[in-house]
Chains A and B, each alone.
Chain A
């Protein structure tokens, strides 16, 4: 294991990530109850032997709802990041390799889009698309694209003047060969590191959109929506908001810590 993952923070990241990915893969299989089943006699209860994390305002089992919500939370984070990183990388590579006026125009447009905070950007787009999980995922992906394009571009620029790239140009290789075989594989490191940390951010924005009622709709087990729905009962049972809230933070923290450890292991100078 690279040394960056053997630090306290790196280990914490690995453990959190394993928990979250485990819940995403097996959560619905091991959930003790039906996440939508009402248990009117057991409303707003704290943890007990029957309900390990307590119950919500309809007596639904919080642990079961949490486990059923895990796959969509992780899928949302990975999906939105993958789409945003993909689109951003394509734009960034085009700008970085083309240079000249194409690069200038792309960069000026990116600068403008980057001046709009990402959450605001996502809010505008999800309103335009009409709300819902898929729409929210697309909105986050679009909001991520300008930032990723900028990182991909600067990564490409730092590679473009390397000797092996100049050699390929001198050999008369096709532009597509140079981009796919020489530039991209060497520029991908910083892009992957940034993408890992962005998964955390995507999960947070996704939950925020769910919380605002613009993402997943009831009776979904999306974690942000769970917090929103339980808020008016939170003073009668704090577990109803604390359980999904802490779960969101744990998922985001897992990806944050993992991403930072990944960065340190790729660039030893950064680890202190």
Chain B
């Protein structure tokens, strides 16, 4: 990995995030339901609304508000929540770690299930196992999170079975078992769609590798099948899968919004829906920017991983 490549990618990412701040600000600026009117209710007098707008700084030109906001963000200050009367950074900070825990649980689960499934499908190509895994992955890819979540709730959290809690959250510091019990259903919901995607990707990479000349050479050399798969085929087909997993963080970030809302998981997604319903602009801006930043960083990591694995990329 050359230093220059890393710097170029880093600069590109910063530029992307800059565009995001502008886009986020533009969208939230034109949201209907002026924040001052939202806070005062429909019966606020025109004078009261004007006074509050002045107090919130909403009467200033948009570019002054934008520069002011970006300057704050750069210092870690996202302003004050309009609804919760707390600093946004405080509200968002707690939610961020809850979402991160959920996302990490989903990603770990996905990696443990999707890679073996993909490898199995590639090794048994054309058999019932391959078709079954393929069908499963298409079903997974075709179910929106709210459908998966509802069906899982029906199966595992209903009064008849009641294996798992239907929603809610227990802090890890309070009870490890409680935390784990509450994270299973949302993490599984998030994971299903990614298992579908990643196992398909691993299958296709593995199929390509198995048909390559160096695998034929390894077999002709008389290596055992187990050794051919473990030492030669697997490492070469997993590299692209790692990159795909990083890119799939984008799906995860979208899915987390719905899943947290359904399972009452107090993360960024649930916070965002609350903020959208209440037109809490500073919170909407902060959450959106944070989700975009996570996505941009995971893309950067994916690029670096690809560059380490494939030297041709660095000089492209």
Contact = CB atoms under 8 A, between A and B. Distances in A.
Binding partners A and B: yes
Interface of A: 8-9, 12, 108-109, 111-113, 115-120, 123-125, 127-128, 130, 200, 204-205, 207-208, 211-212, 224, 227-228, 231, 234-235, 238, 241-242, 245-246, 248-250, 252-253, 256-257, 272
B100 interface: no
A118 B31 contact: no
A128 B31 contact: yes
B74 interface: no
Contact of B18 (A12, A112, A127, A130): A112
A250 B138 CA distance: 10
Given A128-B32, A227-B146, A248-B147, 14 more contacts: A8-B131, A111-B16, A113-B19, A113-B23, A115-B295, A123-B273, A124-B24, A124-B288, A127-B31, A207-B146, A234-B158, A245-B143, A253-B138, A256-B142
A255 B35 CA distance: 41
B288 A120 contact: yes
Interface string B161-189: 00000000000000000000000000000
Contacts of A200: 142
B contacts with A: majority SS: helix
- Of A117, A204, A207, A245, most buried by chain B (CB within 10 Å of CB) is A117
B144 A248 contact: yes
Interface residues of B, number: 56
Given A111-B12, A116-B292, A119-B257, A249 B18 contact: no
A231 B95 CA distance: 26
B142 A115 contact: no
Interface string B269-294: 00011001000000010001001110
A177 to B, nearest CB: 33
Contacts of B253: 117, 120
A120 B253 CA distance: 8
Contacts of A252: 141-144
B296 interface: yes
A204 B144 CA distance: 5
Nearest to A130: B32
B139 interface: yes
B19 A235 contact: no
Given A112-B18, A119-B254, A256-B138, A208 B27 contact: no
Given A111-B19, A204-B144, A272-B207, A212 B258 contact: yes
B20 interface: yes
B139 to A, nearest CB: 7
B139 A208 contact: no
Contacts of A112: 15-20, 22-23
Nearest to B273: A212
Contacts of B220: none
Contacts of A257: 138
A115 B204 CA distance: 26
A119 B260 CA distance: 14
B118 interface: no
A127 B17 CA distance: 22
Interface string B20-63: 10111001101110000000000000000000000000000000
Nearest to A210: B146
A224 B144 CA distance: 10
Most A CB contacts (10 A, CB to CB) among B18, B19, B147, B158 go to B147
Closest 5 pairs (CB-CB, A-B): A112-B19, A119-B254, A253-B142, A117-B254, A252-B142
B39 to A, nearest CB: 17
B101 interface: no
